[in-house]
Amino acid sequence: MIEKTSPAAQNRHLLQIFSNREIGWVSRHRDCLFDLLTMPIIFYTLALWLILPLLVLKLVLRIIKNPSYLNRLGERFGNGKKIEPSFDLWIHAVSVGEVHAATPLVQDFLTDHPAARVIITTMTPTGARQVVDTFSTSVVHRYVPYDYGFAVKRFLDHVQPKVLILMETEIWPNIIRHCHQRNIPVAMANIRLSEKSANRYHMIRPLIRSVLSRVSVFATQTEDDRRRLQTLGADANKIHRTGSTKFEIKMPFNIAELTHTIRAEWGFNRPVIVAGSTHEGEEALLLRTFKKLQARFSDLLLVIAPRHPERFDPVARLVTKNGFETNRRSIDDRKLDNQVNVQIADTMGELAILFGAADIAVVGGSLIPIRGIGGHNILEPCAAGVPVVFGSNMGNFLEISRLTLEAKAGFQIKDEKDLDKVLNQLLQDPNLRNLMGDRGKNMIHQNTGATSKTLQLILPLLNAQ
């Protein structure tokens, strides 16, 4: 009786025969050849090359819009300014939110290992600015190379990291594959895997399963994240629920002084609402609600901090168009005249302090359905002891929003009418605001510990190198 074998098993057998015959090149590149003999990586690689013309077009358009983008274009393809190789940790955080999640990990690691070298990569310029604003020169920043084999290999040759940490759910097949080939352990930290994302990954499960098999450690935020990751093919023994590092919010040591200064600029006796991380469509909703609230609270101030810097100017024009007297923080941070109704917070790295100086915080990305967003982190206002208001579109922060509501530290609104009702209630009741602020602080305190748990999983990988 002839035993049937799978195509994958036949490929392994073929490579074993070649290796046994001491064909040196094959022996040295067995992992790479096996990947090329399996269909998922072929399709993935083919898809990457097919979209390359679109990628180039996108880059050209960005350079036309912002010529400074050309300065670091080489980093996207594994080149860029020369740096001294050999980093203890390479941390990839795609944008601002992931940089925030990585911050306590990096800070605690460098506190315990002051001589260690850390490089952080991001995909977006806003993420890059956040790295520089947070860490200055204590870490090195580079843009992550696009997931083409040649770019990844160049980057690894230049950087030579000992361990790679991917923040949240950044699955890069070629980056992970080439790290595995070089015996660079890969960890995925602070994993947040929504049901929608898991369903998308299930469509390419053979590729995802192959990639996840090369990851040494998974640290998930919740039990649901752990379960979904396991259904995609991750080894259950490698998955650990650690909680979210975003609860580990470290405010500046002089936060009281900073918030006092900002509050003095706004005016101590006028109520202030800070709406942070807003997106297109949300500012219009906020301004309509603000106009209604002004009829009851004539000295009310609204501070709007758009999520993306390129929207500072359009939002300022929208405010003026709606008949409000406005001010730009980057231009004039002096004490505001009471005639100024709306301030545009067009500065970077200040949002946590602005929340701390507010009476009420509204967090955007959740007030209306926005494709690909699913809310933003609502924990900074909680850590500052300020009641937080957010919308129903919190798909990326389900656990955090659930805990916040259970702690009665915030309100989740359904629509514009609900927003008006909740803000009116909070503005009328300072005792309620103080009570909710205290509840938020307590919730943060009760959920700390994810950073130390995650580092306990990662340090053995580093020590083994």
Residue 352, classified by CB atoms within 10 Å of its CB into exposed (0-12), middle (13-18) or buried (19+), is buried
Query: What torsion do the CA atoms of 267, 415, 305, 431 make, to the nearest 10 degrees?
Result: 30
| DSSP 3-state of 188 | strand
| DSSP 3-state of 199 | helix
Contact status, residue 176 vs residue 211, Cβ threshold 8 Å? yes
Residue 279: partners with Cβ closer than 8 Å, 6 or more residues away: 306, 307, 308, 364, 365, 370, 373
Contact status, residue 152 vs residue 145, Cβ threshold 8 Å? yes
Q: Count Cβ neighbours within 10 Å for each residue of 257-280 and write b for 16 or more, e otherwise.
A: ebbeebbeebbeeebbbbbbbbbe
Distance CA 172, CA 82 (A): 24
Distance CA 399, CA 45 (A): 35
Contact status, residue 376 vs residue 365, Cβ threshold 8 Å? yes
Distance CA 188, CA 208 (A): 14
Selecting among 98, 168, 170, 248, the annotated active-site residue is 98
Clarify whether 257 is annotated catalytic. no
Distance CA 377, CA 382 (A): 10
| DSSP 3-state of 77 | helix
Contact status, residue 361 vs residue 426, Cβ threshold 8 Å? no
Contact status, residue 181 vs residue 32, Cβ threshold 8 Å? yes
Dihedral over Cα of 277, 279, 283, 285: its sign = negative
Distance CA 322, CA 55 (A): 38
> Which candidate, 380, 385, 392, places its Cα nearest to that of 349?
380
Where do runs of H (alpha helix) occur along 66-159? 96-112, 125-135, 149-159
Contact status, residue 355 vs residue 385, Cβ threshold 8 Å? no
Between β-strands 272-278 and 186-191, what pairing exists: parallel, antiparallel or unpaired? unpaired
Distance CA 185, CA 31 (A): 15
Task: Give strand pairing partners of 187.
Answer: 165, 217
Question: Which residues are identified as catalytic?
Answer: 98
